[in-house]
A and B are shown apart, each in its own frame.
Chain A
Amino acid sequence: MRSILLVLSLLTACSSRSEQLAALKQLRSATAEWALVNAQAVRQHLPAAYVDGMRQAARKQIRQAARSLDDPHSDAARRAAALQALPPDAPSDLLSREATALKMTEDQLESA
């Protein structure tokens, strides 16, 4: 019985860690995508409908990922909250820096 409980708790821990990684990955990727869209919107004069649609999609993914993060006080959760407070046309440099920071957090969690 004890061994079954041990296996179950290990599986639960693995599953939770996996979900956190997936949420972090989504958060990082959506942020990086938002940064790229904003950079190109200025540089290439991309059509407004495309830019607005991609920004909406990226921000929706950030909201979804933020809801999946377990610890509201974690570094990732704080960054997610800050990202959600940014305007759609936030500077691409800022968004790129956030994506890089999130990538580091993701790598740490993956190697832990």
Chain B
Amino acid sequence: MNPLELTLGIMTAVGGFVDISELVFAAQAGSSFHYALIWVFAFATVGMMVLGEMSGRVAAIAKQPVFNLMRHRLGLKLGLVTLLASLVSNLITCAAEVGGIAIILHLLTGAGYRLMAVASVVVLIATIWVLPFKWIERAYGLLGLFMIVFAIALVKIDPPWTEIAKGFVPQVPHGLSDKELVTFAYFTVAIISAVLFPYEAYFYSSGAIEEEWGRKDILTNRVTCTVGFALGSLLAISILANAAQLFGPAHIDPQLPGSAALEVALPLGRTGLLLALLGMLFAVAGAAVETCLANAYSVAQFFGWAWGRHKKPWEAPRFTIAWIVLMLVALGIVLAGVDPMKLVEYAILFSILVLPLTYLPLLLLARDRHFMRDHRNGLLANLLGWAFFVVILIAAVAAIPLFILTSGGQT
């Protein structure tokens, strides 16, 4: 297996795990609760591996991306509701990513925030238009690997590794006040939502079809999901652990993506800071591409249009117009002056509400003997898939009350 084949998983995972929301949430989680939320990342990562593998396998065997399944399994009405909800969720997320890129570019160059937002959208549209799908995933996936500097910074500050290891054990910290317990619950739900963002499944399964995966790629799919999502999780946990060590004692609850780069600047200095900012830039740009394309894939697949970046833009005109318009709408939201960090909060909230509808049709099809034949879910995949589905349902029900009670994790 060619290692470059892993780039779809790396781009999906780095863009999904260390996007703008994770840069803020992971750092805040570490700063507020030290290592106590590491297990939530690990747990949700296993969920994403299971469900991601399923979506890739279904795409490879049944040749069905997630949104095709939705329409057929949920029916037109419920499918349309899911489409609208996921459009809103992905659009808000895409706008947050564009705002995040503008902030990072502003911090790198000193140029104005709005100017950088426009410039970044021009570059993103140009890269999606010009580059074949394979090169989109390779460029953003591999450049996002600059984020490894966060793991290096963690090794450099030499944190209490046994404490970090204990963080992998499911726990609720002792001695929390009622308010802190509610905030802890909010962070738990928000991390599950951020790790399992629905756009990752849409992008990954559509990407598998773009790359014309078949039976021979089942192993590639499994390895890609395991390695890619584990890597994304490692980076997110590094951000959390760095924040626990450096921000917690300084009374900082990082509110901006630029703060995360300070985690690297403290142990690694100016070069580390620049590498961290570049890694964040490419990871967030990858997430912007993912969310934008995921939205266009969803609409095109739902309405049965020709779609895909393996076609020339003019061979799939409605798909092409969809992703360009969606990217421009995201830019419009940013230029209207909406705070990207507020967008992050709403993106997390909307996503968790869409998650059950995203994964239910997938779970149903993945165990279907008629479509999947000898590659249908085994006992373990079924057990894990449905167990995570129950967790997602509980998180979706709890999300809105927790959001209101904690003012989006602010109190």
- Chain A contacts to B: CB under 8 angstroms: 18-19, 21-22, 25-26, 28-30, 32-33, 35-37, 40, 44-50, 52-54, 57, 61, 96, 99-100, 103, 110
Contact = CB atoms under 8 A, between A and B. Distances in A.
6 contacts: A18-B407, A40-B262, A49-B108, A50-B261, A50-B273, A53-B107
A44 B269 contact: yes
Contacts of B258: 50, 53-54, 57
Nearest to B179: A110
B410 interface: yes
Interface string B258-294: 1101100110011001100100000000000000000
Contacts of A33: 252, 254-256, 259, 262
Contacts of B255: 26, 29-30, 33, 61
A47 B252 contact: no
Nearest to B113: A53
A25 B410 contact: yes
B243 to A, nearest CB: 12
A40 B411 contact: no
Contact of A32 (B109, B250, B266, B407): B250
Q: Which of A36, A37, A52 has the most CB of B within 10 A?
A: A36
Interface string B97-111: 000000100111110
B210 interface: no
Interface of B: 103, 106-110, 177, 179, 250-256, 258-259, 261-262, 265-266, 269-270, 273-274, 277, 407, 410-411
Given A46-B265, A52-B110, A54-B256, 18 more contacts: A19-B407, A22-B410, A25-B411, A29-B252, A29-B253, A29-B254, A44-B269, A44-B273, A45-B270, A47-B108, A49-B106, A49-B110, A50-B273, A54-B107, A54-B259, A54-B262, A57-B258, A110-B179
Nearest to B409: A22
A28 B251 contact: yes
Contacts of B259: 33, 54
B121 to A, nearest CB: 20
A47 B270 contact: yes
Contacts of B107: 49-50, 53-54
A36 B261 CA distance: 12
A44 B265 CA distance: 8
A12 B407 CA distance: 14
Contacts of B262: 33, 36-37, 40, 54
A90 B411 CA distance: 28
Contacts of A44: 265-266, 269-270, 273
B270 A99 contact: no
A21 B179 CA distance: 11
Nearest to A21: B411
A46 B250 contact: no
